[in-house]
């Protein structure tokens, strides 16, 4: 006995295929319409600092997209400098200091005004790092200083940005972000009344100074890729390590 074969209906099958194609096209159109609607709503409702496709501005508060936008913008030297200028930051392009065969700063600059001065001032950083530092100073450090200390920060003290060395100065292992001036070690702050706050001395302070330091550390974690503080290890007991090129870490 011959095996039973389901009868074929070419017109019905062709109609079903057309229906399937139409359903897929309609589904894709609906998805794109939904996405477009969400983008339009986001453009109108969500602040710029939270939208990764919006241009970065130094004058915007720190938001969910600030770190990603700073990293993206900083990767383009011309765009990075444009954002600094638009934000009222002034800088001087720096010749690329070279130490050894593997350390260089191809995109170096010195911030000259537009924020509380770095101390010492003659500090060369990559534009990406300088951009993050300026955002952190304006949108984190200064607001927290007024909230916790009632006055402005007029100087940011540091141990330096460029140092041709490996991580922790070891003889082997990966190069530090300092080897490309893509990091800054901040040790303290000078206030408008002439007093100073030290990371080493005041980190454990339960009062306003300690609160200030812990809050700007936490705020820095929304701007920089890597933030290391006295909570991380003994090597960072006297400074914040802030960089824009290491592994994402906030400690």
pLDDT tens-digit series, residues 207-229: 999 999 999 999 999 999 999 99
Strands 240-243 and 183-191: antiparallel
Tokens (6 digits) for 2? 């011959």
At 34 the pLDDT is 64
DSSP 50: G
Q: What is the pTM of this model?
A: 0.83
Please name the residues in contact with 9: beta carbons below 8 A apart, sequence gap of 6 or more.
none
At 147 the pLDDT is 98
Q: Give the Cα-Cα-Cα angle 102, 224, 200 (nearest 5 degrees).
A: 90
């Amino acid at each position: 006995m011959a095996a039973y074969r389901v009868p074929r209906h070419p017109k019905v099958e062709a109609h079903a295929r057309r229906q399937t194609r139409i359903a897929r096209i309609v589904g894709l159109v609906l998805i794109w319409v939904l996405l477009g609607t969400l983008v339009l709503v986001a453009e109108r409702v969500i602040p710029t600092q939270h939208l990764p496709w919006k241009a970065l501005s130094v004058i915007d508060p720190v938001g969910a997209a600030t770190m990603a936008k700073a990293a993206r913008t900083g990767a383009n030297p011309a765009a990075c400098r444009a954002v600094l200028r638009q934000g009222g930051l002034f800088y001087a392009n720096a010749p690329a200091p070279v130490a050894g065969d593997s350390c260089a700063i191809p995109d170096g600059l010195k911030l000259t005004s537009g924020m509380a001065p770095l101390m010492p001032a003659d500090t060369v950083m990559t534009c990406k790092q300088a951009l993050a530092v300026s955002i952190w100073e304006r949108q984190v450090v200064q607001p927290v200083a007024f909230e916790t200390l009632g006055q402005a920060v007029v100087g940011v003290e540091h141990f330096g940005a460029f140092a041709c060395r490996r991580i922790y100065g070891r003889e082997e292992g990966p190069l530090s972000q300092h080897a490309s001036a893509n990091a800054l070690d901040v040790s303290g702050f000078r206030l408008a009344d002439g007093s100073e706050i030290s990371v080493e001395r005041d980190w454990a302070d339960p009062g306003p100074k300690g609160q200030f330091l812990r809050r700007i550390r936490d705020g820095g974690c929304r701007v920089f890729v890597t933030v290391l503080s006295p909570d991380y290890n003994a090597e960072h007991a006297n400074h914040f390590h802030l960089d824009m090129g290491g592994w994402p870490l906030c400690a």
